[in-house]
Amino acid sequence: MITGFQCGSPFNTETVTGKFRRGEGKIPYLKKEGRAKFSYRLEKEDVVYGLGENVRGINKRGWIYESFNTDNCYHREDTKSLYGAHNFLIIDGKEQFGIFFDYPGRITFDIGYSDPDLLKIELQDEDFGLYVIGTDAHKTCGYSAMEDIVRQFRRLIGRSYIPPKWAFGYGQSRWGYLNEADVRDVAEGYRNAGIGLDMVYLDIDYMERYKDFTVNREAYPDFAGLVSDMKKSGVHLVPIIDAAIKVESGYDVYEEGAANDYFCKDEEGNDYIAGAWPGRVVLPDVLNDKVRRWFGQKYKILIDMGIEGFWNDMNEPSIFFSEKYLAEVFRKLDKFRDENLDLEKFGEFGELVGKISNNPVYYKEFYHRTDSGVCLHEQVHNLYGYNLTRAAGEAFEELCPNHRILIFSRSSCIGMHRYGGIWTGDNQSFWEHLLMNMKMMPSLNMCGFLYTGADLGGFGSDTTQDLLMRWLAFGVFTPLMRNHSSIGTRRQEAYQFPGAAEIGNIIQLRYILLPYIYSEYVKAALGDDMYMKPLAFVYPEDDFAKEVEDQLMVGESIMIAPVYRQNAGGRYVYLPERMLMVRYQSPKQMQKEIVEKGHHYVEIGLKEVVFFILPDHLVPISSGGSCVEQIDFENLRIMGFVETYAEYKLYDDDGYTRDYDNPRCFTQIRAAKGKKLVWEGEKNSIEYFEF
Ligand code: MIG
């Protein structure tokens, strides 16, 4: 049951696509403290879920968060906002309800920061949509209250993006692969080490002077040839696209956009000039329908060269400087020349240049011409990345109606989940960032972002072999499984390490579990469900499960408990019920053991991945392979924990077309203890995996 309130005259974000009841008068649960301020008294035991891409826990209590998309590479405990604006919260206590603010500007969520028992929400202005989601359906439908609230919310915002099947393979990325030889080296490095690989990502280095939709011809003399060569060996090249367009006469994308007035404008109505990778840049005004169509069609340039996947970066938008601000900085700097730089003066001096990158003042300097009129960027800030990716997503449906294209973005806002996935930005090779990755996943899933994952191994700083191994052991389960690192850091391709063979075994588990991972992913998308859940969503009556933030449910059959501490030989695991523990060392070395409900110390060696299968649940697996294309999805094996009887609804398709709802995609598998497996559907063979 969803009630939608319209406060003032909100900007049409096109986020809500589903049905709701129009509310009038009093807003339930929340106390209105002013026109754009709300509060809610939190009981001691209340848990607050949501906010998608953010720091801290699955339970968001005890900090103040802000929705204002930011290119912030410091993912620390004191960070308030990252690259996304995901304004959805669930309160789980005596009262259980969800709230969603459909609003593109800045919002503050003070969740017990100023007052530990108070939730306070404040919006920057008075025009917004507010949706309140109650629950009682769970009493009859078999879902927990939290699952029910999430499902209702997700129905309100529309079906999550489903990438092509190959996008569920393992990918290698790095800022700093400079040319064709580098790319071939990576693919070869993996092949020689016998490690699976489905994509090599191309960072800004592939472009000609950081110009979108160009390829550096010196570095890539035959780009289309390379793309096709790589694809023959099962590897997709996935190039990056940045938000900003280089100002340069003769550059067709710039000239076309300038001639048609497709760029954001400054106060005087001229093209707004900012600074980014290519130097002076303009920003495509993707909040305008026509511009969106134009920008989206540009992806065709690369699609025509055989490209089938993209990542969209810098679309908060990230701005290094504005021309106006830069001039001011130079002017002020000059004044310091003859100053005595004492404490205060030196501070001011440092700040001038130190605060130049992504200074929030830039967002007050330019305008959009949207279908609902001219808007100052700051008021609609959180919609920029969303619409840049939407431009691509909409174009793909037109350009490739029968062919899914991979797309994920750095910046996002709820609504964008229909068009693409996200990666979680510039983390570091820190153990605490592995834990943060685990906590962020279910929060993102609640908000509709299913195709998501972090830079495995860490983007910034030097990684270590053990961190990479532990992170990959978690990454095996995240829909986006990509190893990515920054230029200037230690190389972290799996084959670079002495333990390459063991790292390869961990990655191979991904390919073995692929039938399950793909099936659970698509079912979550089709059913408005989460792919990764907190334990509390599945075991709502279990008080201890409520506090577990370092274990997750993955799909309907698996619980994971990754190791996230250096030099740990294992960890404590909480089992809300008796489960089958699977200990994986390599495709040929797997053991199982029944573990009883309760707390256990489980040894988990660096080379191992341990996961748990729920009682009377099944996990369809493959016999492995070195890329998704090689996986035999027709002859499957089942890992199961059948105590009496288990059923599993398997989803599978050709991996490319968009006929998701076709009943032929489903196979119903039934397993009764001691009996042969039976199934209805089109699979060739399905057998128990004996181990
Ligand atoms: O400011 O394109 O998050 O993944 O490697 C850095 C270079 C710009 C930020 C992205 C990162 C990417 C990097 N980009």
Taking residues 166-184, report their average pLDDT.
Answer: 98
- Position 136 scores a pLDDT of 83
> What would the mean pLDDT of 324-351 be, rounded to a whole number?
92
Q: Name the residue type at position 106.
A: R
Residue with CA closest to ligand 1 atom 8:
314
pLDDT tens digits, 299-313: 999 999 999 999 999
The angle at the Cα of 372, spanning 367 to 377, to the nearest 5 degrees, equals 20
**Ligand 1 surroundings by CB, under 6 angstroms:** 175, 203-204, 240, 313-314, 410, 425-426, 459, 484
Describe the strand order of the beta sheet including 666-672 as a list of residue ranges: 645-651, 666-672, 678-680
The closest residue, in CA terms, to atom 11 on ligand 1 is 426
Q: Which of 240, 358, 485 to mutate to test the pocket of ligand 1 (most atoms within 8 A of CB)?
A: 240
Closest ligand 1 atom to residue 425 Cα is: 3
Residue from 287, 285, 284, 273 nearest 320 by CA: 273
Ligand 1 centroid vs 180 CA: distance in angstroms? 20
Q: Write out the H or E segment, with its range, that includes residue 156.
A: helix 145-157
Q: How close is the Cα of 425 to the center of ligand 1, in Å?
A: 8
- Region 379-396: what's the mean pLDDT? 98
DSSP string, 372-397: TEEEEHHHHGGGHHHHHHHHHHHHHH
Q: What is the pLDDT of residue 311?
A: 98
- The mean-pLDDT minimum among 149-158, 325-334, 375-384, 610-619 falls in 325-334
Q: What is the pLDDT of residue 138?
A: 59
Nearest CA residue ID for atom 1, ligand 1 = 314
pLDDT tens string 33-89: 999 999 999 999 999 999 999 999 999 999 999 999 999 999 999 999 999 999 999
How far does the centroid of ligand 1 lie from the alpha carbon of residue 400, in Å? Answer: 28
Sign of CA dihedral 18, 42, 424, 282: positive
Name 689's Cβ contacts closer than 8 Å, sequence gap at least 6: 621, 637, 638, 639
Q: Residue 200 C-alpha to ligand 1 middle, in angstroms?
A: 15
pLDDT at 545: 97
Q: Is the pLDDT of residue 471 over 90?
A: yes
Q: How far is CA 51 from each of CA 72, 146, 189, 277, 345, rounded to the nearest angstrom? A: 17, 15, 39, 30, 39
Of all protein residues, the one whose alpha carbon is nearest to atom 5 of ligand 1 is: 175
pLDDT of residue 137: 64
- The alpha carbon of 337 and the centre of ligand 1 are apart by a number of angstroms equal to 34
pLDDT at 655: 97
pLDDT the model gives residue 611? 99
Q: Which ligand 1 atom minimizes the distance to the CA of 487? A: 5
> Residue 297, SS3?
helix
Among 172, 174, 203, which is best to mutate for testing ligand 1, by the most ligand atoms less than 8 A from CB?
Answer: 203
Atom of ligand 1 nearest to the CA of 311: 4
pLDDT above 90 for 371: no
Nearest to 683, CA basis, from 665, 656, 659: 665
pLDDT for the residue 246? 98
Percent of the chain scoring above 90 in pLDDT: 97
DSSP state letter for 299: T
Query: What number of helices (H) and strands (E) belong to the chain?
Result: 15, 42
What per-residue confidence (pLDDT) applies to 139?
66
CB 198 within 8 A of CB 192: no
Instruction: Please compute Rg for the chain using Cα positions.
Output: 25
Report the nearest atom of ligand 1 relative to the CA of 410: 3
What does the alpha-carbon distance between residue 203 and residue 211 come to, in Å, rounded to a whole number?
12
Neighbours of 660 (CB within 10 A): 14
What's the CA-to-centroid distance between 491 and ligand 1, angstroms?
A: 16
Q: Choose among 58, 218, 29, 230: nearest CA to 134.
A: 29
Contact (Cβ atoms closer than 8 angstroms) between residue 292 and residue 394: yes
The alpha carbon of 210 and the centre of ligand 1 are apart by a number of angstroms equal to 12
Terminal Cα-to-Cα distance of the chain (whole angstroms): 46
Instruction: Please state, in angstroms and rounded to a whole number, the distance separating the CA atoms of residues 124 and 137.
Output: 34
Contacts of 344 (CB under 8 A, 6+ apart): none
Look at the alpha carbons of 17, 19, 22, 28 in this order and tell me if their dihedral is positive or negative: negative
| pLDDT band, residue 142 (cuts 50/70/90) | confident
Mean pLDDT of the chain: 97
Helix (H) or strand (E) holding 502: helix 500-526
Q: List the one residue out of 83, 174, 168 whose CA is nearest residue 458.
A: 174
Does the structure show a pLDDT above 70 at 140? Answer: no
- Å from CA of 211 to ligand 1 middle: 15
Answer yes or no: is pLDDT of 469 > 90. yes
Distance (Å) from CA 313 to ligand 1 centroid: 7
Residues with Cβ within 8 Å of residue 96, at least 6 apart in sequence? 90, 134, 135, 145, 146, 149
